[in-house]
């Protein structure tokens, strides 16, 4: 299997949702523009596999195919079978994707997102 070239516009597909890091384990090549964008976002690049780390939420969330991190090999953090699990998942997405750290803002935005989901299902 060849290496995948990752440009700045492709970063969301390789940023681990659980840890907020990019794992450059030899399966990807980051362009200079991608590295600059990661630096701008404050995302850490780990050169090597995820061993010993908390891991990623799901392969679709940025883990490479065949990932063996705890989240991929076991229960997915985005397992939304309960309202509580869905709420945690929405909150994690807001933290990781939108870089929101204020707990009150997270609660407010999570409630708004859940209300939008409920209104559209």
The pLDDT value recorded for residue 76 is: 43
* Structure-token pair, residue 12: 């969301």
pLDDT band at 95 (very low <50, low <70, confident <90, very high): confident
Classified as helix, coil or strand, 116 is helix
Compute the C-alpha angle 118/115/13, nearest 5°. Answer: 85
Rounded to whole angstroms, how far apart are CA atoms 28 and 46?
Answer: 12
Q: Is the pLDDT of residue 58 over 50?
A: no
CB contact at 8 A, 100 and 86: no
Residue showing tokens 């935005």 = 109
* Structure-token pair, residue 71: 């989240």
């Amino acid at each position: 299997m060849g290496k995948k070239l990752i440009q700045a516009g492709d970063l969301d597909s390789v940023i681990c949702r659980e840890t907020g890091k990019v794992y450059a384990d030899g399966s990807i090549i980051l362009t200079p523009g991608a590295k600059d964008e990661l630096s701008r976002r404050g995302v850490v690049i780990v050169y090597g596999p995820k061993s010993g780390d908390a891991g990623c939420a799901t392969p679709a969330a940025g883990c490479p195919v065949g990932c063996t991190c705890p989240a991929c090999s076991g229960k997915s953090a985005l397992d939304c079978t309960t309202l509580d699990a869905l709420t945690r998942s929405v909150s994690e997405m807001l933290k990781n994707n939108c870089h929101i750290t204020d707990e009150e803002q997270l609660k407010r935005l999570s409630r708004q997102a859940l209300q939008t989901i409920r209104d559209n299902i």
